[in-house]
Amino acid sequence: MVRQIPPGKVLTYGAIARMMGRPRHARLVGRALWGTPSGRGIPCHRVVNSRGGTAPGWDGQRNLLENEGVPFHRNGRVVLERCLWQPDGEPPDE
DNA sequence: GCCCTGACTCCTC
DNA sequence: AGAGGAGCCAGGG
């Protein structure tokens, strides 16, 4: 699922969990990504929490996202309103 | 089997 | 808007 996230877009743990029918498994998604090997085409850096916060201990994630065009708030949070990916179809630009 | 911990989320102060 | 507490599921000691 994470692999389907296009560049410039992000997904939240809770969103993924709910897509899978497990709204309470947000942490499980995180732990799953924790064991996600790099180079598998799994852009785990496109996954942030509900507040748009990047993973702790992984500052490079923000750099990768910004590099893809993901807007960030001044406090270092991702602008979910602008880059939250929706597989059902992109929402209108306002 | 109990207790602590964690790439989470929500509510309240 | 930042900080603290509770609920959540699974893993490890």
CATH number of the domain residue A66 falls in: 1.10.10.10
Quick one: average pLDDT of A75-90?
A: 87
Mean residue pLDDT of chain A comes to 90
Domain that holds residue A7: 2-83
Residue A18, pLDDT > 80, answer yes
Does any strand C atom come closer than 7 Å to the Cβ of A24? yes
Give CA–CA dist A79/A51, Å, rounded: 9
Q: Are A9 and A84 in contact (CB under 8 A)?
A: yes
Q: Per the structure, how many domains does chain A have?
A: 1
Quick one: average pLDDT of A60-65?
A: 93
The pair of structure tokens assigned to A34 is 């924790």
Give CA–CA dist A83/A40, Å, rounded: 23
Name the DSSP letter for residue A15.
Answer: H
A42 in a domain, yes or no?
yes
Give strand B nucleotides closer than 7 A to any protein Cβ. Answer: 6-10
Pick out the nucleotide with least CA–C1' distance to A26.
Answer: B8
What is the per-residue pLDDT for A35? 85
What is the per-residue pLDDT for A55? 93
Q: Are A68 and A7 in contact (CB under 8 A)?
A: yes
Give CA–CA dist A10/A1, Å, rounded: 12
What is the per-residue pLDDT for A87? 79
